[in-house]
Structure formats: C-alpha cells, structure tokens
C-alpha cells in the first residue's frame, strides 16, 4: 500500500510507481470513481484503438 499526503491546496501528488502501474503518461487524465464507503477507484483513460504507449516499437 502506498501512502500519499495532501497539501494545503487539497492536492495529492501520485508517485511514479502508481502512475506506471495505471499506465498513465504525462498530461493524461485519470478517471476516479468515488464509492459510498469513503473509498475510490481509479483507472487509466480510455485510449483509441491503435494507441501506442511508447515511441519505440
């Protein structure tokens, strides 16, 4: 489990390991689903067919 810290501006920085696990790249958005029991679920954005995650194939 990773512990994150919120700032005075209500912001949280996600660590590189979390972003890598989710497949998030710089500038992409993250979908967060708020659950009724104070939990949340996150997932990477929907990507178009044929989207390449690397410039090197």
CA distance 51 to 39: 30
**Segment 34-48, tens digit of pLDDT:** 889 988 888 777 766
Q: What is the mean pLDDT of residues 8-29?
A: 86
The answer as to whether 33 is a domain residue is: yes
The answer as to whether 53 is a domain residue is: no
Give the residue numbers spanning the domain of 16: 12-43
The answer as to whether 2 is a domain residue is: no
Percent of the chain residues topping a pLDDT of 70: 79
The answer as to whether 27 is a domain residue is: yes
The answer as to whether 25 is a domain residue is: yes
The total of structural domains in the chain comes to 1
The answer as to whether 5 is a domain residue is: no
CA distance 45 to 3: 23
The answer as to whether 56 is a domain residue is: no
Q: State pTM to two decimals.
A: 0.58
The answer as to whether 52 is a domain residue is: no
pLDDT at 32: 84
């Amino acid at each position: 489990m990773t512990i994150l810290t919120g700032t005075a501006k209500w912001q949280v920085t996600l660590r590189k390991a979390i972003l890598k696990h989710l497949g998030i790249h710089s500038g992409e958005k993250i979908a967060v689903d708020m659950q009724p029991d104070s939990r949340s679920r996150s997932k990477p954005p929907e990507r178009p067919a044929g989207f390449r995650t690397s410039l090197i194939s």
